[in-house]
A and B are shown apart, each in its own frame.
Chain A
Amino acid sequence: MSGPAEKAPRWTLWLPLALFVGFAALVMIGLVHPASQDVPSQMVGKPLPQFVLPAGVPDRPALTSHDFVDGKPRLLNIFASWCIPCGVEAPVLGALAARGAEIDGIAIRDHPADLAGFLAQHGNPFTRLGADDVSAVQLAIGSSGVPETFVIDGHGIIRYQHIGEIRAEEVPFMLGKLAEAAR
């Protein structure tokens, strides 16, 4: 009962697929576009903004932007005791420190007691530790959340920004970025 003449136009059968392809293209743009935008790579290649932060805990020195201009590349980790992934990241930072990376920390919007508790629980891999109670440095450096880790070269230039926690399998990668920054 359905000879070729009685068929609906063939193109209509492709319509659902065409709609889906449109959707996929749209979300592809959505996926790729913000990823390249909200990694504020604008800051990569630029010098660290000027800042002076008070010490977050008594047993580590305070942190200023001048500390980074000493010829040695280092990691700058932005974290907080209230941040869940930071606790997961802490042992990885410990592993990085154990393999010779020098890590400075900035605690965001933290209370001294919570911070001390966090470090006592997860270990303290930081050489210096500043307390940024109003997110001033965090915003200036172009970070939108915690944890984030920056690779800073010996001249205080930001060479790489890592958003989210560093996972155990990314330790060699981060060490590589540090070695790159030393060159």
Chain B
Amino acid sequence: MLAEFALAALWLAAALAALQLLAGVLVLSEKALVLGGIVRPLAVVQGLLALAALLGLIGLFATTDLSVALVAENSHSAKPMLYKIAGTWGNHEGSMLLWVAVMGLAGSFVALVERRLPERTMLATLAGQAFVSLGFYAFLLLASNPFARLTQPPPEGNGLNPLLQDPGLAFHPPTLYLGYVGLSIAFSFAIGALVTREVGPAFARAMRPWVLGAWIFLTLGITAGSYWAYYVLGWGGWWFWDPVENASLMPWLAATALLHSCSVLAARDALRAWTVMLGVVAFSMSMIGTFLVRSGILTSVHAFAVDPLRGKFILALLAINIGGALTLFALRAGSVTEGERFSVTSREGALVFNNVMLTGILGIVLIGTLYPLVTEAVGVRVSVGPPYFNPVTALFALPMMLVMMVGPLLRWRRDAPGRVARAQGWVMALPPVVGVVTAAVFIAHGGIGLLPLIGLSLAPALALASLLPLRGRDLTRLPLPVWGMVVAHFGIAVAMAGMASDSAFSTERLIAAHVGEETRVGPWAVRLAGVAPVAGPNWTAMEARLVVRYDGAGATTLTPQSRTYWAPPQTTGVSALLTRWNGQLYTVMGEEVEGDRWQLRLWWKPFVPLIWLGGALVALGGALALLGRVSADLKRISVRTRMADRRQRQGR
């Protein structure tokens, strides 16, 4: 029964979305102004129904109801409960349901709390949100029904891909989806603003918290995804430029640009058309990324099963949503007047540079991701990997980082380099000096590639420069958004140090070891103490016991496994990691080879955890900024109500 209820909830939600769109359009075209009052409640109920459908599917997975085709295909009664629930979104249909549920909930949230914009703009925004949701409801209900029943339920389910049976999976996709779909709010705001031509600081202030929220989740999702790939794939790498990874990076780049242009629009009423366009582009990138992954037109290490029909359906959806929004942009943006002026050396100038460079990187990543498709059309098969992406994105990222060092110190509107230098004094010289000294030290050290060298010298300079905006300010009274910016920029420096250190200093050892044999990797001595079979709830494994010592210090035991799952049958390596303050020891176990030896692959990766620590700091910076903005908004609202109260009382 649960499946039927959930399906009914989904249909109902779709119907309400249609009604929401219709009511919005009728009000905007001034045909039925009375309907204005029902749009917000409709959005709220629609979101709750979508959530109910998702909870229904989670319930079906939790109880392993094998009469539902999706459960039978993707779950198994012997799976641990965490993975039963995570299995809900570990497949195409379930993940799309998660998508619409998040989208519906985001819409209800906006409908409930957002009251700053003119009501007409809000109605247009909610109608836009309903329009986009409607497409995804149609896709779910017509082309990928998650609740389809089987006529003859099998006695047991087929299980979940073992690579996906990992705690990371339980949290990683929902986090990323909150980010992807959160951007749909920015998209709808942009549409709403274009429809009513209300593009200005109020629009930017209303949109900014949503962009910030989505951006925080995207940052966390990408960081977590990178760590997941790092320890699950057992290849020792943390970023592979795989289409799935690129699909999450592209919306992040667009959202980062949007975030910065939003602050220009909010503070200075400039970059109007550009900000609206980025609002459209950011969510478009989410949809394009999802499409590229789901349609199977690009192969990837972690793609779901592929159905060309679904690909065409999503493409049609993209064409309608993105094509429609961009057409609206082309028609209306001309009548959105350009905002305030500013000189090249100004805060705005630096942020424009940041935006242009981020857009450039976005273009580079998109072109690289699509290139195999282009060549395939002429019959040549290629793959594009780090040799392309690393140097070419660096070409745009490095100038951006340099500008990022001074941008926050510049004044709005107009500034002069001389003024900044005078204001900051000798401290201004510190970052470049640190950078040059670090570079000199590492050049003397030798054997480091150009990109890691640049990264290693830039990171400390950037870290210092990112703290400069704090200088001379009363730290107790500094607004939270400024703290957020400082922390996020500092996080970028930290992550860059980790990346550069990983490629400059990692050492690797690959051996076939006898039990009892000791080997060295970097400062570590690693002894294979034993190999024993172990069993889990739905797998069996050979487990190596590695006794490891850092530079003669006390011993620790690591247990990498070569694991065999039986539902579905598949073998996969499970790495074992040991983290110290100065790096990570990464161990992988292979198969048994002649002469009673076991294959071992070991890495010593100095400072590699800084990559994810940096990512977390960036997200923390975002959270601080969001907290600051939201609390300022709340204060403004309470002041306004108090003033309204007083006026009312005085009037009486």
Answer whether A and B are interacting partners: yes
Decide if B189 is an interface residue (CB 8 Å cutoff): no
- Chain A residue at minimal CB-CB distance from B336: A2
Contacts of B337 in A (CB 8 A): 1-2
Contact of B322 with A2 in the complex, beta carbons under 8 Å: no
Per a CB cutoff under 8 Å, which of B155, B277, B308, B319 touches A35? B308
Report the bound CA distance from A90 to B155 in whole Å. Answer: 13
Instruction: Assess A24 versus B308: contact at CB under 8 Å? Given A34-B297, A82-B569.
Output: no
Contact partners of A17 in chain B: CB under 8 A: 323, 326-327, 329-330
Is the CB of A154 closer than 8 A to any CB of chain B? no
Q: Is A179 part of the binding interface, using a Cβ–Cβ cutoff of 8 Å?
A: no
Residue of B nearest to A163 (CB): B308
Q: Identify which of A27, A91, A121 contacts B150 (C-beta below 8 A).
A: A91
Query: What 0/1 pattern do residues 21 to 42 of A give for CB contact below 8 A with B?
Result: 1011011111101110000000
Residues of A within 8 A of B158 (CB): 84, 87-88
Residue of A whose beta carbon sits closest to that of B326: A17
CB contacts (< 8 Å) of B152 on chain A: these are 91, 94
B307 interfacial by beta-carbon distance below 8 Å: yes
Given A7-B334, A122-B154: A88 and B297 interface contact (C-beta under 8 Å): no
In angstroms, how far is the closest chain A Cβ from the Cβ of B19?
29
B370 touches A13 (CB 8 A): no
**Does residue A85 face the partner (Cβ distance < 8 Å to B)?**
yes
Chain B residues whose CB sits within 8 angstroms of the CB of A27 once the complex forms: 291-292, 295, 297, 315, 370, 373
A85 adjacent to B73 (CB under 8 Å): yes
Q: A82 to chain B: which residues have CB within 8 Å?
A: 568-569
- The residue of chain B having its C-beta at the shortest distance from the C-beta of A168 within the complex is B151
CB of B353 to closest CB in A, whole Å = 19
* Residues of chain A lying within 8 A (CB to CB) of residue B281: 16
Q: Tell whether, in the assembled complex, residue A16 and residue B277 are in contact, meaning their CB atoms are under 8 Å apart.
A: yes
Task: List CB contacts (< 8 Å) of B285-299 with chain A.
Answer: 288, 291-292, 295, 297
CB pair B334–A88 under 8 Å, yes or no, is no
Give complex CA distance A87, B338 in Å.
Answer: 61
Q: Are A16 and B155 in contact (CB under 8 A)?
A: no
Across the interface, which residues of B come within 8 angstroms of A121, CB to CB?
A: 154-156
Contact B151 A30 (CB under 8 A): no
B1 at the interface (CB under 8 A from A): no
Residue of chain A at shortest CB distance from B372: A30
Q: Distance (Å) between the CB of B319 and the closest chain A CB?
A: 6
> B211 near A: Cβ within 8 Å?
no
B570: nearest chain-A partner, CB-CB: A82
Q: Is the CB of A23 within 8 A of B338?
A: no
Question: Does B377 sit within 8 A of A, measured CB to CB?
Answer: yes
A33–B377 CB distance below 8 A: yes
Residues in B with CB closer than 8 Å to A84 are: 73, 158-159, 568
What is the CB-to-nearest-CB distance from B402 to chain A, in angstroms, rounded to a whole number?
28
Complex CA gap A2/B330 in Å reads 17
C-alpha spacing A84/B565, complex, angstroms: 14
Contact of B151 with A91 in the complex, beta carbons under 8 Å: yes
What string of 1s and 0s marks CB contacts (under 8 Å) between A118-140 and chain B?
A: 00011000000000000000000
Scan A86-116; emit 1 where CB is below 8 A from any B CB, else 0.
0110110011000000000000000000000
Tell me, in angstroms, the Cα distance from A26 to B377 when the chains sit together. 8
CA distance A31 to B373 in the complex (A): 10
Query: Which residues 600-625 of B sit at the A interface, judged by CB distance below 8 A?
Result: none
- Residue B318 is within 8 A (CB to CB) of chain A in the complex: yes
With contacts A24-B318, A34-B376 taken as known, whether A87 is within 8 angstroms of B154 at the C-beta atoms is yes
**Which residues of B are found within 8 Å of A49, using beta-carbon distances?**
none
Q: Given the complex of chains A and B, what is the CA–CA distance between A142 and B427 in angstroms? A: 70
Interface centre among B72, B151, B159, B326 (most CB of A within 10 A): B326
Could you give, for residues 22-36 of chain B, a 1 whenever the CB lies within 8 Å of some chain A CB and a 0 otherwise? Answer: 000000000000000
Residue interface mask B259-278, A partner, CB < 8 A = 1 = 00000000000000100010
A164 and B312 form a contact (CB under 8 A): no
B637 at the binding interface (Cβ < 8 Å): no
**Which residues from A are CB-within-8-Å of B69?**
88
Taking the closest CB of chain B, its distance from the CB of A95, in whole angstroms, is: 8
List B contacts of A6 (CB < 8 A). 338
CB B500 to nearest CB in A, in angstroms, measures: 33
Q: A31 touches which one: B273, B295, B329, B333 (CB < 8 A)?
A: B295
The chain A residue with its CB closest to the CB of B297 is A30
B311:A31 contact, CB within 8 angstroms: yes
Contacts of A29 in B (CB 8 A): 373, 377
Within 8 A of A (CB), among B42-96: 69, 72-73
Is B248 an interface residue, CB under 8 A from the partner? no
Contact in complex: B373, A26 (CB < 8 Å): yes
A10 at the B interface (CB under 8 A): yes
Asked if B374 is at the interface of the complex by the 8 Å CB criterion, the answer is yes
Contact present for B154 and A26 (CB under 8 Å): no
- Cβ of B575 within 8 Å of any chain A Cβ, yes or no, is no
Q: Which residue of B lies closest to A28 (CB)?
A: B315
Residue of A nearest to B366 (CB): A23
Answer whether A20 and B568 are a contact pair too, CB < 8 Å, given A2-B338, A84-B158: no
B587 within 8 A of A: no
Cross-chain contact A26 with B370 (CB below 8 angstroms): yes
Provide the residues of chain A in CB contact with B323, threshold 8 Å.
Answer: 17, 20-21, 24
Q: Across the interface, name the chain A residue whose C-beta is closest to B159.
A: A84
Known: A16-B277, A88-B72, A88-B73. A31 touches B330 (CB 8 A): no
Minimum CB–CB distance for A38 against chain B, Å: 10
Q: Which residues of B are found within 8 Å of A14, using beta-carbon distances?
A: 330
Closest to B273 in A: A13
Q: Which residues of the partner chain B approach A34 to less than 8 Å between Cβ atoms?
A: 297, 376
Which residue of the partner chain A has the closest CB to B284?
A: A20
- Name which of A7, A30, A88, A122 has the most chain B CB atoms within 10 A of its CB: A30
Query: Given B156, B338, B374, B568, which contacts A26 in the complex, CB threshold below 8 Å?
Result: B374
Per-position 1/0 for B299-331, Cβ under 8 A of A: 000000101100110010011001100110110
Q: 3 nearest interchain CB pairs?
A: A17-B326, A30-B297, A84-B158
* Contacts A/B (CB < 8 Å), 21 sampled: A1-B338, A13-B330, A16-B277, A16-B330, A17-B327, A17-B329, A20-B322, A26-B373, A27-B291, A27-B297, A31-B315, A34-B297, A35-B308, A82-B568, A84-B159, A84-B568, A87-B154, A94-B152, A95-B151, A121-B154, A122-B154
User: Which chain A residues have a beta carbon within 8 Å of chain B's beta carbons?
Assistant: 1-2, 6-7, 10, 13-14, 16-17, 20-21, 23-24, 26-31, 33-35, 82, 84-85, 87-88, 90-91, 94-95, 121-122, 164, 168
